[in-house]
Amino acid sequence: MITIEDFKCSPFEKKCDIVTTSTNYLAMRMLGDCKVYLYHTENFFIEVYYSSVHKKVLMINAFKNTDELMAYAESVSLTDLGL
């Protein structure tokens, strides 16, 4: 598996390949006009910033710090758990 350091140094196209072949989709949130998709690898998280206006990926961000997951807390629902 790729390390976060290697991922961050990879070209944009390779990052896209890794996201599509080696991650699990977790969530999506809105940030202005962008949809930010959250993925997880074995070792870190990846955010893909997609612009609906420009119809393209604008940025790919990788992080390990779970504090950065708080941005997704609003979109998580426990209703389906029947608690």
Cα 74 from chain centroid? 16
Please report the beta strands in 1-83, taking only residues with DSSP state E, as ranges in sequence order: 24-31, 34-40, 45-51, 56-63
What number is the average pLDDT over the span 15-24? 96
**CA-CA-CA-CA dihedral for 44, 5, 60, 42, to nearest 10:** -20
At 28-81, the pLDDT tens digits run: 999 999 999 999 999 999 999 999 999 999 999 999 998 898 888 877 666 765
Q: Where are the domains of the chain?
A: 4-64
- Cα–Cα distance for residue pair 36/24, rounded to 1 Å: 14
Q: What is the pLDDT of residue 48?
A: 98
